[in-house]
Amino acid sequence: MTTGKNYIGDVLSAKGKKTFKTINPELNIENETVFYEAAEDEINQAVLLAEEAFKTYSKTADAEKADFLDAIAEEIEALGEELLTTYIQESGLPAGRANGERARTTGQLKAFAAMLREGSWVEAIINKTEGKPDIRRLQIPIGPVVVFGASNFPLAFSTAGGDTASALAAGCPVIVKSHPLHAGTGELVASAIIKAAKRTGMPNGVFSNLNSSGIEVGKTLVEHPSVKAVGFTGSIKGGTALCKIAAGRPLPIPVYAEMGSINPVLALPSALKTDSEKWAKNYAASITAGTGQFCTNPGLILGIDSEELNHFFSILARETDLSEPSCMLHPAIKSQYENLKSEVLEQEGYTQQTTLQKEVKPNYAVQNIIAVDGDTFLKNKTFHKEVFGPFSVLVKCRDIKQLNEIIQDLEGQLTGTVLNSDLQEWEDFKEVIENLKNKVGRLIFNNVPTGVEVCSGMTHGGPFPASSDSKFTSVGLTAVKRWVRPVTFQDWPDQLLPEALQDKNPLRINRTVNDILTQNPI
């Protein structure tokens, strides 16, 4: 049951005077629960509790933290239909998506728990050579972390999403700034985390959940001197604003922001000659999936002007027109989609590809695909903008040289995709693909960019403005690296060292000893 209150550690609190409600975008009505925005003293109390909890939680054994993460997954599953119903009412997303995202969320938590039990994530390095200093290094947690819930993933990128799971795995208490679009979903998940913390004996303050209807709560959190890092998934505007606030503090802190991307797709001639219809159907489904509300939505598809490319574009437009319009997450997001789309459609030099025109429900979005030539795309940066929703720009390039010029002109992206069915043509596009690699965090071959696997090899990030720091990922097990820093111990007595660095290797983890990876004791 949702109360509309904040979790300040394990205590429900509603001291704030500002209130708000979530909206059911499918029905275009407000949901019943009244939510209380966190007051300044509630924010301060949450951070102070996190700071105090860090003293013990940062020293908690990996096996105990793993039990905590597994318990969170179990408590989320125990919320049952109430969580799914609330998710659907606040997002307009269907039941299948709710079930899938819940499974992804619990799967992430369990994956980080498994990582902790294996133990090598601390990256223990030992240099022990006769006549030289004894040098030993490992990663340690940095302190309280603020996580901003994402609008488009009420579970997997929000209260118990990848940022929270990875920060808790690292040994950092987490304060979530809940997203106002799905505050009820956030509170239910927060209750599961609090139950799990109590059940596994974690310190009070290891987790808090704060409501907000605007920017003030988030700004206050980022400015707080006891906060050591920030995780954010959202817009370029929001992410860069947080980066500026964090950089302007007396003691600056990192903001790991995953922001915007149009995810360029290179449709090479061989793919269009042999698999044009297959790729057109796959990409029509990718463009319209989730009403286009994915950060990996394919918003830009490029190819060399030819009959095959024109045929591919026509099939893609036809298949996209066949998709039924669906509900967006919120009236404000629908309005933003229409405004951004209108800005692009006010430009000159494009041709309309899709033809679907129909009356739709208030928060439903009609998909749209347009095409431009390479010269127009290079001259007009408006065609480069991300339109968050079911929208894509197709670009007909004059030749490989122009295609290469366009790729070099793009901003940083989360993904880049190459469609190809003949490796013999690879040499012709070698430079183009190399330049694409330098623009993206994930390079995809013969697939769609939507869908981000949670695994140790995943990179969900990329050069700015795809993310604020291209060296890190917000998805996958290495996301934990954002919340730790290396510390070196020099010439310390063995019994005073952390267990991960002791000679006998009591944790039996993989360590790099004199530049050789081993589990052997010294």
- Whether omega for the bond prior to residue 465 falls within 30 degrees of 0, making it cis, is yes
**DSSP 3-state helix, strand, coil percentages of the chain (rounded to 5)?**
45, 20, 35
d(CA 246, CA 219) in angstroms, rounded, equals 9
Contact between 501 and 126 under an 8 Å Cβ cutoff? The reply is yes
How many Cβ atoms are within 10 Å of 504's Cβ, its own excluded? Answer: 10
Q: What tokens were used for 222?
A: 């980022």
Contact between 23 and 330 under an 8 Å Cβ cutoff? The reply is yes
Q: Is 172 a catalytic residue?
A: no
Among 42, 75, 187, 258, the active-site one is: 258
Among 26, 37, 90, 295, the active-site one is: 295
Residue 339 main-chain phi, psi, to 5 deg:
-65, -45
Residue 422 main-chain phi, psi, to 5 deg:
-145, 105
DSSP of 2-64, one letter per residue? Answer: --S-EEETTEEE---S-EE--EETTTTEE-S--EEPPPHHHHHHHHHHHHHHHHHHTTS-HHH
Q: Is 499 a catalytic residue?
A: no
Residue 177 main-chain phi, psi, to 5 deg:
-90, 100
> How far is CA 133 from each of CA 177, 270, 460, 487, rounded to the nearest angstrom?
45, 59, 39, 15
Contact between 187 and 4 under an 8 Å Cβ cutoff? The reply is yes
| Residue 192: closest CA among 285, 77, 277 | 77
The number of helices, as runs of H, and strands, as runs of E, in the chain is: 14, 25
Burial class from Cβ neighbours inside 10 Å (0-12, 13-18, 19+) for residue 250 reads: exposed
Enumerate the β-bridge partners of residue 229. 145
Q: Tokens 């802190």 appear where? A: 253
Q: Which residues are catalytic?
A: 258, 295
